[in-house]
């Protein structure tokens, strides 16, 4: 067991020894939730639970009760279009070639198709191309949509699992060929 996981388990064990029965119960529930969620990510990514927990713990900088919750480690079974970062990169290369700056992303709101190269040429952070509509920055003369994937309402998107086993929402790739139903 990694030192990061040992530290987490010690924090939980301390709360499970609390004189307050509510704290004890919540700590036990949270332990089970953490282990189950780590198992889910491990199975999905083809790694061990220890790999997932160690990575999460290396990123955690605040109380475990607040860090470990659905908004930080969402339930993968409740999401459509979940993909690992490696598979996402493979798909981008398959659709558009090796140059990621030429990969095409579609705004889920206005359906504008945009690339990281367009953002780069406009002097805007290229990685915004898969998280924000070009209209937010006036790229290509667009000004009406201004959609961001980080807003309160989530339109259809892709959920990418990073190397740190975190979820990042991104715009879907623009499919060159229309899908046949």
pLDDT tens for the chain, 181 residues: list them. Answer: 899 999 999 999 999 999 999 999 999 999 999 999 999 999 988 999 999 999 999 999 999 999 999 988 999 988 778 999 999 999 999 999 999 999 999 999 999 999 999 999 999 999 999 999 999 998 988 778 888 998 777 788 899 999 999 999 999 999 865 444 4
Q: Which residues pair with 105 in a beta bridge?
A: 114, 173
Q: Are residues 167 and 111 in the same domain?
A: yes
pTM: 0.78
Does some domain include residue 150?
A: yes
Q: What is the dihedral of CA 51, 55, 57, 59, to 10 degrees?
A: 180
Q: Which residues contact 147 (CB under 8 A, 6 or more apart)?
A: 107, 108, 109, 110, 132, 133, 135, 136, 155
Q: Are residues 21 and 94 in the same domain?
A: no
Q: Are residues 97 and 166 in the same domain?
A: yes
The conformational region for residue 146 under phi > 0 = left, psi -120 to 50 = alpha, else beta, is left
Q: Which residues pair with 84 in a beta bridge?
A: 161
Q: Are residues 87 and 161 in the same domain?
A: yes
Q: Are residues 109 and 167 in the same domain?
A: yes
Number of domains in the chain: 2
Residue that is last in its domain, among 32, 48, 74: 74
Does some domain include residue 178?
A: no
| 108 close to 147: Cβ distance less than 8 angstroms | yes
Q: Are residues 47 and 94 in the same domain?
A: no
Does some domain include residue 179?
A: no
134-144 as b/e: b if 16+ CB within 10 A: bbbbebeebee
Q: Are residues 93 and 151 in the same domain?
A: yes
Q: Give the whole-angstrom CA distance, residue 11 versus residue 5.
A: 10
Q: Are residues 98 and 53 in the same domain?
A: no
Does some domain include residue 180?
A: no
Q: Report the 10 Å Cβ neighbour count for 102.
A: 13
Range of the structural domain that residue 18 is part of: 3-74
Q: Are residues 141 and 69 in the same domain?
A: no
Q: Are residues 17 and 95 in the same domain?
A: no
């Amino acid at each position: 067991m990694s030192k990061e996981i040992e530290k987490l388990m010690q924090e939980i064990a301390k709360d499970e020894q609390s004189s307050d029965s509510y704290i004890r119960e919540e700590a036990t529930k949270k332990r089970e939730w953490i282990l189950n969620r780590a198992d889910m990510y491990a199975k999905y990514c083809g790694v061990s639970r220890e790999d997932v927990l160690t990575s999460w713990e290396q990123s955690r900088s605040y109380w475990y009760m607040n860090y470990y919750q659905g908004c930080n480690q969402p339930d993968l079974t409740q999401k459509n279009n979940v993909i690992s970062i490696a598979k996402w990169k493979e798909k981008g290369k398959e659709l558009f070639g090796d140059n990621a700056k030429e990969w095409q992303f579609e705004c889920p709101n206005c359906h504008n198709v945009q690339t990281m190269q367009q953002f780069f040429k406009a002097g805007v952070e290229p990685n915004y191309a898969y998280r924000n509509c070009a209209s937010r920055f006036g790229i290509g003369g667009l000004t009406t949509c201004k959609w961001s994937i980080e807003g309160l309402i989530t339109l259809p998107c892709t959920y990418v699992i990073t190397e740190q086993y975190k979820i990042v929402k991104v715009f879907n790739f623009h499919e060159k060929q229309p899908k046949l139903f």
